Structure 1
C-alpha cells in the first residue's frame, strides 16, 4: 500500500504531498498469471503500469539508470556483505533467528538499480487533471467493473467483515497494481538491505528490513516469493513491511497472510482492515462534486474549515446536479485546482484514504475511480487545462517569495500543504484576486 503511511504509507507520503509526479519503473510486470484469473488490461494501460505506478510521487519517468562499472560494483558488493554481517547481531537482538537470516540473505546482492531509483528524484510533475486522466481512464474504470464482477464473492465478504465498500477497496487495488497485474518483482529483502546500506535513509529502511525479516520468520511467505516494488511496497495493494505486520489479515483461513499470490483475497481484506483501523465510515462518501454560489467566501474553503451540511446549504452550495448537500457529518470545501476547476465537498473518509497516500491527487483518484466503477458520472466542471503544475523548484521559489512578501509558509520544502495554501490565500486577498489558495504559475509570476 503505498498507503498506508502511518503504517504503510510513510515512505511515499514523504515524496508525494502535492507534487503530482509519476515515479519511474516502480511497478514491474510479474510472471504471467493463469488464464482463468487475470482482469483484462489493455496493452496501452499495461505498458503504462509497467513503467510507472499511479502514486503521485516526485520521481522522473525518463531519468536513465546509470551504469556502474564491474570493478565498482564488485567493491560495493563486498562492502554490502560486510554491512550484512554487522547488521545480523542487531537483527538477532530484535528476535530474528540465525536460520531466518541465513534463508533471507542466501541469494541477496547489492542492487544498484534500487539505489539509482532512490537517488533520481526529479522535479517532473503532472497537473492534477493529467494525473486523473490516467488514474481514472475509461480502461481502468472498465477493468474495475470487471474486477467487481470477477471477485464479487471475495469483495462482498470483505465489505461485510470490515464495513468498507467493495468499490473503494477495488479502486485502491486498481491504482496500486492495475488490479493485481503489476505487483513488482524486486526481492524485498535485497531492496531494503540495499537502501539501508546505502545510508541516505538508513534508519527507516533498516526498520523496514527488520519487519520484512519478521514476516519471513512468521512463515507467511518464502524469501523468493517476497517481491514488490524497489521501494519495498508489496503485493496487490502495495503494503510496506511495517504496515503488513500491523494490518495484514488472513481472509482465506489458510494460516498465512498472503498478499503476494494470484488470489487477492488476503490483500483486499488487509486493505479494508487498514482503512477501518483509521476510522472508515461505511455509507459516508469520500467527497462529492459541488457548485459554489456567486460571491462565495473562498476564505471558507480548505481542509481546515469544517462545517455541517446546513451551513453549506445556507450559503448556496449545491451538489453538481443541483440538489442540496446531504448530511454526512463535518465537511470541507476543497478546490484542488482553484476557483477555475472542480469544487468538492469532502468528508472524513477523504482523510482516511489520505493515510494510504497523503497526496490530494491520489485521494481524489481513489474516490472518483470508486464512484465511476459503480456507475457514477465523471466530473461535470472543467479543469484549467491551459495551466501547468509547478515544478519542485518553482514550489520552493513560491514559498520563498511568499515568505519574503510577509506571507509565511512556515518552511521551504516544496510541498504545497495547508500552510502554503493559507499563505497563497492571504497573498491573493492582498492583491484583490480570488483567495482560493491555489498555488498556480500565475501567482508565482505575480510574486516575481
Structure 2
C-alpha cells in the first residue's frame, strides 16, 4: 500500500500506514536503532523460506534485529570468529552456549574460580536440567584431565577470573578438552578482544557480558556468543545429534550439513532453539548502545588496564593491605601466565585483602569518595564491592576458599578517572583503618 491509496476521510488506515515506505534505506553514518517487533516480508514464499532456514532475513525481533546483526558481525570480526549471537545478558550468553552443547545426563568441567552468578548457574540451575558439573582448580591440569567422563560435552572457564584476576593456562586446558573430544568455551568479559583473543590459544567459543567493557558505560545489559569456527562437530557425529541428525522442528534439515563450521551450525541451533524458546533476546536499543561502546573499546581498556596496575602497585605497598590479587605484580603466582597470555595488559578488575580482616571492609568501602559502590564492572566509573557478601554471596565458605578469596576481600573495577585521584581516594580510606587499628 502506498500513500496514494489513502483517502483523507479514512484516518484509521492512514494513522497506521501513512508515510511509510517499507524497506526504504537511509544513508546514516551511525547504525540505526531498528525499533520494531516484526518485519514485513516481500511475499509468502520469502516468509516460508526464512522460517525454513532456506534463506536469511529478518524474521522477528525475538530471533534478532538489524541493529543486533551489526553488533554480532563486529564481535565476530574482533574475536576472529565465523559468527556471533547477541543475547539479553552475559548470563544468557553462558546459559545458551552450554545448553546448546550439553544435554540432560551429560557433563561439564569448569573451574571453582568463577564469577558467583556462573557458579549458581552451573551448580544449581543446571542440576534442575539434569546436567552434572565438576568444579576443579583451574591451575591443576591433572584435575582437568581427571574430571573428564564419557558423557563430558564441554569445558568452560574465564580467561581472567572474577574477582581474583586469575589467569587461565588456556592453551593447556584447550589441549585437554580437545583430547577429550569436547570444545573449550571461554568467558572473555574481563579481557575483551583488546587484551586477549582466545582463538589464538585454542578456544572454540567465546562469551562476553557485553554489559561490562564492551558497552563500557553501565547503561545497558547485553551478552554475546562468538563461534570461533574451530570445533568439528562432524568428527564424532554420534556425540552431537543436535547438529548432525535431522532437526525436526525445521523440516528435518541437518544443521551440520547445511551450515557446517563456516556458517555456524552451532549458532543456528542456539538461536532457533534456546533463544527462540526461552526468549533471552537483545533489544535494538541495547544493541545500539553496546555498538557505541565498542567504538572506543581499545582506548578505554588500555587506559583502564594501565591505571589498574598502578593502583595495584600502590595497594601492595600499603600496610593496611595484606594481599593484592593482580597478575601484573612481580610476586603474583600468575605473573608468568600474564606475560604469555596478556602481554598488552592484565585488565582493570582485581581485588585485595585487608590486613584488619572482614571487620574493616565496611569502613574502607564507606570511606571512599570517588569509587562507586556498584555490583558491576567494566564501567567508565571506578567501582568497588565486597564480593563475598554481594556478587558471590551464594557461595559457601568452602567455595570461597576454593575460589581464592574471603570476606576480607574487596574487588575494584578501575574506570577512566585520573589515576592520581583514585590512588588518593583509596589511600585516605585505608588510612582510616590504620588510624582505627592504632587506637586499639
TM-score (structure 2 length as normaliser): 0.28
Which has more helix, going by share of residues?
Answer: 1
Which has more strand, going by share of residues?
Answer: 2
Q: Which has the larger radius of gyration?
A: 2
